[in-house]
Structure 1
Amino acid sequence: MNYFSVVFCTILFSVTSSFSQEKIDKYVVGKGETVSQIAQKFKITPYEIYKLNPDAQNGLKPNSVLLIPKSNGKSNVTSSKTAKQQPKTHLVVAKETLFGIEKKYDITDEALKKANPDIEKYGLQVGQILNIPSKNTSKTSVVAKNVVVYHTVLPKETKYSIAKQYGMTIEELERKNPEIVANLAVGYELLIKGNGSKPVAKVVPAETKVVSEKHVAVSVPEPVNYIDYTVKPKETFYSLSKMFGLTQQQLIELNPALSAGVQEGMVLKVPSKSNQIASNSVKQKVVLTKKSSDIKKTLVLLLPFNIAKNGGDTISSNVNRLNNDKFLNMTLDFYSGALMAIDSAKQVGVVMDVKIFDSNEAKTTSSVASIFSDNNLANADAVVGPFYQSNVEKTASLFAQNNVPVISPLSKDTGNPMPNLYQSIVSTAVLKSAMFDFMNAKQGNVIAVIDKKKETIRKYILENQKEVKIAPLTATGGLDVESFKKLLVKDKINYVILETANTGMIKYTMNTMLGVMANYQVQLVILEPNETLDTDEISFENLTKLHLMYPSATRENTSPEAQLFMQSYRKKNKVNPSTFAIRGFDITFDTMMRLSQDKTYQETAETMITEQVENKFEYRKKEEGGYVNNGTYILYYDTDLTIKEAR
């Protein structure tokens, strides 16, 4: 269904004579196109598009029309004389970083900050217009055009992270360095730019000093001790660079995740600085696709098929149960996903002894104890299941003597503290906390609109999120619009948390937000699923305009790997995978890949964050014992009708 009609703004039909003199073209926006892509197509800057189309700063809609200045030899793009006379500017858009802007215009960090002093005080802001100094006025970059550039591979770097850092594809990187097609070795010097026949400028660790543009003086490096540092609120690239004596690029080399910007809570690898900074346990996000251990492990799956419940071993009795037993169907879906995971693990060389048992369980009973004693499972390497919390806790106690990890696959209960119990379902409390952490990291102005029936969430915010402003209500329980507007802040993103199931209140609040968008940055936020938002009475188009944002334990994954899983599942099972089938795959595959490493499952849980088709596994050790999964996503509705992850 097409939720958007063609947008023709009045301004597009009232082009003045001055515009005509400048020779303006009209361009119809295609689906998924961005301002940057269109600017590149016409060989102009995004700023020139924004100058003629101010509304484009709020995002592009398919089939909308943009005014495009013709390139006639007098524009900033083609006239070097004009370029020298007029300073170049850049409009900061969402997700841009200083590193990316400096790379785009081939200028130094120092030159950009000198031309824009406010960056060091307030950081980079969306919508900010930066002065871009010419290369003639900025200091000569170490990586000059006539210099061959090499990159020394650091520990934990990948082809993807290195290629992304230099704005190239993996194929381009491998074409310049054919010897890395099979393997990428730490310490190897990759050719990034040039053909190797000119003087070399190497991307080197911090202890190597650049003497001039063409020569590199390398002192004998002293051993560097690295520690883990957790980014605090309001910290920026500039403050981190000053603190650790590193350039922005060196920080990114050590921590590729920084290429997306500095975020509160990030754990960074940095040089030790006279023990002034306390060390925290590091969590490295990894993609486990290959085994690193040749020791054959044993995985136990305890799934509640409850075969004993069959009224008789007849086709009709089995069909009747399949038609009426939702719990059995859920189990079979989970099982089908687990089988796909076992097959996928084999394809990457993981050979594991997988033992599958019927746990025969109800909420408080199961046959796990007899399975444990009859099958000599005490030395298993990991257990997935059973499904019910009370049964999974009993299982954990049986396997506790050898500290065998027991992963609870579906229970949402907090459970009792047990050292070998891993709760894989992300709790509601963690999701709420993650949403507030995200908004605080963005230094947003957070306002909550809460109706009188949501006193629980009001109490939670008052007790745990004291910086949140709660919007006043009228005597009849509606939103007090004038008081709400007074809570908005112009120089920040205003996150509006909406907690109500009342259709009228939802529409009224959304209309109020839409009415102030010309003067304020506003974004709609929910903390929990809200079925009312999915009804026909709520405009989906308005939800996308307000970029509805919410925390989630799962994501919509359109990667090639996810598509391959979907296709393989359909081919094998003749249906699309259900939520439980995907869950069965993710849990089982993640467990098998963790077991195939040269570490125990517990060690991988304490050091590695992993992502599978829909789920993220970021285990945190609880003080009272055991582990919980903190793997959350912050998602939002985009104007192209897709759900995307907020960064």
Structure 2
Amino acid sequence: MGVFSRKSKIMSRISLKYVLYILILLSSTQIFAQKIVHHTVKYGETKYRLSKVYEISIEELERQNPEIAKGLYAGQELTIDTSYSVPKRDPEGNYIKYLVKKGESKSLIAKRYNISIAELDKANPDIQEELFAFEYIFIPVSNEVKKAEMNNYSDTSTDHTASVEKNLDNSSTTFDSEEGRNSYVNMVSSIKVNKEIALAILFPDTITSNTSYGDFEKGAQMAIDSVKSLGLHVTADYFNLKDVVKSGDYSSVVNYENVISLCNVKATSSIINKSSKKSNLVYGSAVNGVLEASDYNVLFALSSDFYRQNKLLGYLTSQNGNIIIINDEESTLNEHILKMYPQIKILTSDNGIVDESEFSSSLASGVKNFVILNTTNVNSIINTTNFLLPKSGSYSIQLASFRPLSEMVSSKISIKRYLVLKLIYTEFEGCNQKDTSYRQSFTNVYKKKYSAKPTDASVFGFDITFDFLVRLAQGEDIKSQLGKKTKYVSVPFEYTNVGDNVFTNSALKVYELIDYNNSKELK
């Protein structure tokens, strides 16, 4: 997987309500002043939905983007001037203006504010049965509730972009209002300013040799710029491990106490073990390898192949089904996994093709057949699903993947295949919801800085680097900070001790794809 001191002035402004603003705000960027919104159309979105989200008429939306007059399609890039927006007129009485969050329904909001759905409909005669994320609605409340809510959630600004961002600030202490999410904490306000941190980031090859390396580096640099604006002194250097090994000169790398590595465990250890400091190491990708013990603190930020494979297989074996794994020539199963799950059947594709007779004999009647793709090879995926789809009438079949959905979808593979076969996959909590306002805020800043859209690798680079630096800046041993749950643009961090000084991000979940826009959590 490819993959991302102005003490008195800054600290006086920090409050938990504005952490995310500070987190992604570069010193020269004023995203809240923007009137122009760049929107990427997602599966299932309609012009009606966008008109509600941006409080703009469909006619005005089409005038600004004439290419959508005949319809929308996923991936279209729209430019929306929100200065033409026509905000809803406030009703009379005590109301708060509320920004609907992803997954919220009328019944959920009515229950939260102790009102009836009929009262909600009366205050919002134009809303549909299904609410849209980021749509504004009015909620009738008592005067006391209004005063309290105005301090926390509501926003009376008529500028759509500003109001989305401000609402984002107001909810940043819990990151959203879903049940259970308030367990995430903010550590920014407790950093020790003026602390000096030296950081090394290791790549397997040159940054230009792999697009994801460059994207990770850009996200990491944004994180470094952000923590510098908070008063930290950070020096960071990037190393090509291939060149370091070739030269035999390890001195430039081993002097760093804090390291982020995108290399596998074996290669990274060969370098880090030469250092006498051996302080803190974070793996910034889902690398190959597993550690049971270490002389220094090791964090698997995106887990590792072993933990991902074990997470999915643990769930599937609990379903008492028949498990078949499709490997390609470049994919491997961790040796520990092979010992833990001796009952699984493993088939290897040759140039993307699995022997059909062998595949057929591996399927079992009377139980669910879970077919796991241990590959992102397009030919392997197409050939495997081509074989399974007609078999689904005779066998109970469900597709699965060790990889996140973002790595399985490409222009050459229709997502319909995954929908029909009800793909089960591993992903970090929340990362399967790409249309959150947090990611959009990050996208706005990233586009302005790099004139390009951020990729998942960019987000990983930012989140992993920012989280690592903030934990290091608490003024205590980083190990004492690992019990705290955090989340920034996309990735949640919830470290669990899995060995001597070894920790993995246990926010990894198992999801099932249910439609173009949504997945449900299974475990």
Bin the TM-score by the shorter chain.
Answer: 0.5 to 0.7
Matching residue's letter, 1:418: D
Name the CA shift for 1:438/1:532 in 2 (closer, same or farther; >3 Å).
closer
Name the CA shift for 1:572/1:451 in 2 (closer, same or farther; >3 Å).
closer
Matching residue's letter, 1:355: T
- Alignment partner of 1:351 is 2:227: no
Select the residue among 588, 596, 621 that pairs with 2:465.
588
**1:241-252, aligned counterparts within 5 Å?**
none
CA distance in 1, matches of 2:336, 2:289: 18
Give 1:436 deviation, angstroms. 2.6
Q: In structure 2, the residue corresponding to 1:430 is in which secondary structure?
A: helix
CA distance in 2, matches of 1:565, 1:387: 26
Name the CA shift for 1:567/1:342 in 2 (closer, same or farther; >3 Å).
same
Higher-Rg structure is 1
Asked if the contact 2:426/2:511 (under 8 Å) is kept, the reply is: yes
Q: Once the two structures are superposed, what CA deviation does each residue of 1:536-561 show, in whole Å capped at 9, x if it has no partner?
A: 99764242133212124664532111
- Alignment partner of 1:479 is 2:360: yes
- Alignment partner of 1:446 is 2:326: no
The farther-off stretch of 448-457 and 415-424 is 448-457
Q: Once the two structures are superposed, what CA deviation does each residue of 1:234-290 show, in whole Å capped at 9, x if it has no partner?
A: xxxxxxxxxxxxxxxxxxxxxx99879xxxxxxxxxxxxxxxxxxxxxxx9524363
CA distance in 1, matches of 2:143, 2:476: 30
With normalisation by structure 2, the TM-score equals 0.52
Matching residue's letter, 1:369: S
- Alignment partner of 1:623 is 2:493: no
- Alignment partner of 1:336 is 2:237: no
Q: In structure 2, the residue corresponding to 1:613 is in which secondary structure?
A: coil
| Contiguous gaps of at least 5 residues in structure 2 | 1-42, 47-102, 117-136, 154-176, 348-353
Asked if the contact 2:254/2:272 (under 8 Å) is kept, the reply is: no
The farther-off stretch of 452-461 and 609-618 is 452-461
Q: Which residue of 1 aligns with 2:196?
A: 298
Name the CA shift for 1:396/1:589 in 2 (closer, same or farther; >3 Å).
same
**1:492-641, aligned counterparts within 5 Å?**
495=370, 497=372, 501=380, 506-513=385-392, 523-528=398-403, 540-552=415-427, 555-597=432-474, 599-605=476-482, 607-639=483-515, 641=516
- Alignment partner of 1:424 is 2:424: no
Matching residue's letter, 1:290: V
CA distance in 2, matches of 1:337, 1:609: 21
- Alignment partner of 1:176 is 2:59: no
Give 1:614 deviation, angstroms. 4.2
CA distance in 2, matches of 1:621, 1:546: 35
Across the aligned residues of Structure 1 and Structure 2, the Cα RMSD in angstroms comes to 5.5
Matching residue's letter, 1:608: K
Name the CA shift for 1:626/1:462 in 2 (closer, same or farther; >3 Å).
closer
Name the CA shift for 1:614/1:555 in 2 (closer, same or farther; >3 Å).
farther
Asked if the contact 1:452/1:477 (under 8 Å) is kept, the reply is: no
CA distance in 2, matches of 1:637, 1:573: 32
Name the CA shift for 1:509/1:532 in 2 (closer, same or farther; >3 Å).
farther
Give 1:567 deviation, angstroms. 1.2
- Alignment partner of 1:288 is 2:164: no
CA distance in 2, matches of 1:452, 1:591: 34
CA distance in 2, matches of 1:567, 1:304: 27
Name the CA shift for 1:502/1:550 in 2 (closer, same or farther; >3 Å).
closer
Q: Which residue of 2 aligns with 1:242?
A: none
Asked if the contact 1:411/1:425 (under 8 Å) is kept, the reply is: yes
Give 1:479 deviation, angstroms. 1.9
Give 1:387 deviation, angstroms. 5.5
Matching residue's letter, 1:549: I
Give 1:450 deviation, angstroms. 5.0
CA distance in 2, matches of 1:357, 1:289: 24
Q: Once the two structures are superposed, what CA deviation does each residue of 1:579-635 show, in whole Å capped at 9, x if it has no partner?
A: 443332112111133234475321122x12333334343333343443344442434
Q: Which residue of 1 aligns with 2:289?
A: 414
Give 1:529 deviation, angstroms. 7.8
Asked if the contact 2:185/2:484 (under 8 Å) is kept, the reply is: no
CA distance in 2, matches of 1:636, 1:386: 28
Name the CA shift for 1:330/1:469 in 2 (closer, same or farther; >3 Å).
closer
Q: Once the two structures are superposed, what CA deviation does each residue of 1:77-133 show, in whole Å capped at 9, x if it has no partner?
A: xxxxxxxxxxxxxxxxxx99xxx99x98xxxxxxxxxxxxxxxxxxxxxxxxxxxxx
Give 1:341 deviation, angstroms. 1.4
CA distance in 2, matches of 1:498, 1:581: 25
Q: Which residue of 2 aligns with 1:369?
A: 251
Name the CA shift for 1:353/1:548 in 2 (closer, same or farther; >3 Å).
same
Q: Which residue of 1 aligns with 2:209?
A: 326
Q: Higher relative contact order by CA 8 Å / sep ≥ 6: 1 or 2?
A: 2
Aligned residues: 362
CA distance in 2, matches of 1:360, 1:497: 33
Q: In structure 2, the residue corresponding to 1:354 is in which secondary structure?
A: strand
Q: Once the two structures are superposed, what CA deviation does each residue of 1:307-365 show, in whole Å capped at 9, x if it has no partner?
A: xx9xxxxxxxxxxx99xx416x6655433212321344466xx3211112354642525
Q: Which residue of 1 aligns with 2:519?
A: 644
| Contiguous gaps of at least 5 residues in structure 1 | 1-29, 34-94, 105-142, 146-167, 185-255, 261-283, 310-320, 489-493
CA distance in 1, matches of 2:44, 2:327: 41
Matching residue's letter, 1:573: Y
Matching residue's letter, 1:557: K
Name the CA shift for 1:453/1:572 in 2 (closer, same or farther; >3 Å).
closer
Name the CA shift for 1:555/1:539 in 2 (closer, same or farther; >3 Å).
closer
Name the CA shift for 1:504/1:530 in 2 (closer, same or farther; >3 Å).
farther
With normalisation by structure 1, the TM-score equals 0.44
Asked if the contact 1:446/1:497 (under 8 Å) is kept, the reply is: no
Q: In structure 2, the residue corresponding to 1:589 is in which secondary structure?
A: helix
Q: Once the two structures are superposed, what CA deviation does each residue of 1:480-519 show, in whole Å capped at 9, x if it has no partner?
A: 59x733225xxxxx75546793855532323332567xxx
CA distance in 1, matches of 2:143, 2:473: 28
CA distance in 1, matches of 2:217, 2:452: 14
CA distance in 1, matches of 2:178, 2:405: 32
